[in-house]
Amino acid sequence: MDKKIWIKDPTAVWTGNQLAAARGIVIEGNRIIELVEQEPASEVDEVFDASNQVLLPGLVNCHHHFYQTLTRAFPEALDKELFEWLVSLYPVWANLDEAAIRASTTTALCELLLSGCTTTTDHHYVFSTSTGRAIDVQADVAAQLGIRAILTRGSMSLGESSGGLPPDKVVQSPGDILRDSERLIMEFHDPAEDSMLQIALAPCSPFSVTSELMRDSAILAREHKVLLHTHLAETLDENEFCLEMFGKRPVDYLEEVGWLADDVWLAHGIHFNQDEIERLGKAGVAVSHCPSSNMILASGSCPVPALRAAGSPVGLGVDGSASNDCSNMMQELRQAFLLQRLAHGASAFSHEDALQIATAGGAALFKRNSIGEIAPGKLADIALFDLDELRFSGAGDPVAALVLCGAHRASAVMVNGQWRVQDGALVDIDIDAVRTGHQAAATTLWKT
Ligand SMILES: [Zn+2]
């Protein structure tokens, strides 16, 4: 029999869509079984004292590049916009090896868990002879740390010599990409409702893959019922590239290669016109908003309210740590709140909208009905934030306080019924060893 844990008397419970007047929740095994109104319906085995804490669904991160934690605040990449920024970083990333992938994945996942994240994706697209098993390594680390993951098999096939942006050294042949994509799906993709690991296919962007690879990736993904992901409409440079290379704007290109569909989620989704937003919404294409990255690279801002109104699921992503430069979902949520308010007005995006895209919105983007929400029957993925800090002193609304006063570290995090963070620290992880190993891997990478 699975034990029952009562997460008792939090200051507030925010369910993923609304505030619940409740005395907490009861968890049994890997599920939430009850929203407690007065007393639990039956006897519990354990009580977790949640007083002075706000209870949220675990946060869902919809876009990241873990390997980029090794090139944070990288001197040659500072103060540049996307294309120039990429060109200064590609040669460094070309030297990644599997030890670097292990170190960077560990660091990114530790940061995500500590910020209240319970489900994350990663988009790894830099493959060379020394990173052939990058996704296998990431799968191993995610399992060790106990976070729910959707790992994408990224790809680049359009090198500099064929009119693309990345150097030829880091592009692969379509045959190699598709063979490895299928291998990873067969080996790791678990379609179960409570799956801890899924695979998706993710050609990197219009300016780094061919149209054929976009089409063939979609065919392969649909054959195996896995999701599709790519960067789209991130910058005006990209729009111009699409017009020049393919004779059409990014959304028309997306449609031409068979990607205007509800099994697709896009990173960024900034430079759309109203007609394109409506087409995306009608097709159910999802978008991951990445506010910090968009501000650092001065790319623009995603039209989140219009996309949601049109019917697109919108999630939140921290994006890679060379354009953020951290992996903190709670901080990112605040950035989304600030940027969307600035772009669309104070009544267009509330703190609850920011929380929603970071929880239930992300769950909808991943087609994962059982996460991103606190309700009986949902998976036990939760995050608690302690209000007993100077930054929250004097706050009226405890849920709004998390966003407005700038919560950035969870006090406790549970994934699939297992505590992964307690008392603000990772369970069974030596964070100093993680940091030392990661710094050494970064230093080695810069020198190669
Ligand atoms: Zn990205």
Q: Tell me the pLDDT tens digit for each residue of 83-96.
A: 999 999 999 999 99
* Residue 169 to residue 158: CA distance in whole angstroms: 11
Kindly give the distance from the C-alpha atom of residue 36 to the centroid of ligand 1, in angstroms, as a whole number. 40
Taking a C-beta distance cutoff of 8 angstroms, is the pair 39, 28 a contact?
no
Share of the chain above pLDDT 90, in %: 94
Q: What amino acid occupies position 370? A: S
Confidence of residue 273 (pLDDT cuts 50, 70, 90): very high
Kindly give the distance from the C-alpha atom of residue 144 to the centroid of ligand 1, in angstroms, as a whole number. 25
266: which DSSP letter? E
| pLDDT value for 221 | 98
- Mean pLDDT in residue range 202-229: 96
CB neighbours of residue 165 within 10 Å: 21
3-state DSSP assignment of residue 4: strand
* Residue 447 to residue 386: CA distance in whole angstroms: 41
- Mean pLDDT in residue range 323-345: 97
For the stretch 164-198, pLDDT in tens is 888 888 899 999 999 999 999 999 999 999 999 99
**pLDDT at 291 exceeding the cut of 80:** yes
Kindly give the distance from the C-alpha atom of residue 341 to the centroid of ligand 1, in angstroms, as a whole number. 23
Kindly give the distance from the C-alpha atom of residue 230 to the centroid of ligand 1, in angstroms, as a whole number. 8
Kindly give the distance from the C-alpha atom of residue 57 to the centroid of ligand 1, in angstroms, as a whole number. 24
Confidence of residue 332 (pLDDT cuts 50, 70, 90): very high
Confidence of residue 206 (pLDDT cuts 50, 70, 90): confident
Strand ranges of the sheet holding 4-8, from the earlier edge strand across to the other edge: 31-35, 24-28, 4-8, 46-49
Kindly give the distance from the C-alpha atom of residue 165 to the centroid of ligand 1, in angstroms, as a whole number. 15
Kindly give the distance from the C-alpha atom of residue 267 to the centroid of ligand 1, in angstroms, as a whole number. 6
Kindly give the distance from the C-alpha atom of residue 64 to the centroid of ligand 1, in angstroms, as a whole number. 6
Kindly give the distance from the C-alpha atom of residue 215 to the centroid of ligand 1, in angstroms, as a whole number. 20
Kindly give the distance from the C-alpha atom of residue 195 to the centroid of ligand 1, in angstroms, as a whole number. 24
Q: Report CA-CA distances (Å) from 384 to 19, 53, 85.
A: 14, 6, 36
- Mean pLDDT in residue range 398-419: 98
Kindly give the distance from the C-alpha atom of residue 193 to the centroid of ligand 1, in angstroms, as a whole number. 27
Q: What angle do CA 226, 229, 230 make, to 5 degrees?
A: 155
Kindly give the distance from the C-alpha atom of residue 38 to the centroid of ligand 1, in angstroms, as a whole number. 45
Kindly give the distance from the C-alpha atom of residue 268 to the centroid of ligand 1, in angstroms, as a whole number. 8
Kindly give the distance from the C-alpha atom of residue 321 to the centroid of ligand 1, in angstroms, as a whole number. 9
| pLDDT value for 22 | 81
| pLDDT value for 198 | 98
* Residue 390 to residue 415: CA distance in whole angstroms: 28
CB neighbours of residue 255 within 10 Å: 17
Kindly give the distance from the C-alpha atom of residue 232 to the centroid of ligand 1, in angstroms, as a whole number. 10
| pLDDT value for 209 | 93
Kindly give the distance from the C-alpha atom of residue 124 to the centroid of ligand 1, in angstroms, as a whole number. 9
Q: Report CA-CA distances (Å) from 372 to 60, 298, 367.
A: 7, 30, 11
> What token pair was written down for 216?
């063939």
Kindly give the distance from the C-alpha atom of residue 396 to the centroid of ligand 1, in angstroms, as a whole number. 36
Kindly give the distance from the C-alpha atom of residue 147 to the centroid of ligand 1, in angstroms, as a whole number. 20
Kindly give the distance from the C-alpha atom of residue 5 to the centroid of ligand 1, in angstroms, as a whole number. 38
Kindly give the distance from the C-alpha atom of residue 393 to the centroid of ligand 1, in angstroms, as a whole number. 36
| pLDDT value for 227 | 98
> What token pair was written down for 12?
């507030």
* Residue 393 to residue 389: CA distance in whole angstroms: 7
Taking a C-beta distance cutoff of 8 angstroms, is the pair 140, 147 a contact?
no
* Residue 16 to residue 361: CA distance in whole angstroms: 9
Q: Report CA-CA distances (Å) from 34 to 14, 104, 277, 358.
A: 14, 37, 39, 23
Q: What amino acid occupies position 105? A: T
Kindly give the distance from the C-alpha atom of residue 420 to the centroid of ligand 1, in angstroms, as a whole number. 26
**pLDDT at 21 exceeding the cut of 80:** no
3-state DSSP assignment of residue 122: strand
| pLDDT value for 15 | 96
List the domains of the chain with CATH numbers. Answer: 4-57+373-426 (2.30.40.10), 59-365 (3.20.20.140)
| pLDDT value for 110 | 98
Interhelix angle 134-145/174-188, rounded to 10 degrees, is: 30
- Mean pLDDT in residue range 346-357: 98
**pLDDT at 448 exceeding the cut of 90:** no
Predicted structure pTM score: 0.98
> What token pair was written down for 324?
């953020």
| pLDDT value for 179 | 98
Mean pLDDT of the chain: 96
- Mean pLDDT in residue range 365-370: 98
- Mean pLDDT in residue range 283-300: 97
For the stretch 109-120, pLDDT in tens is 999 999 999 999
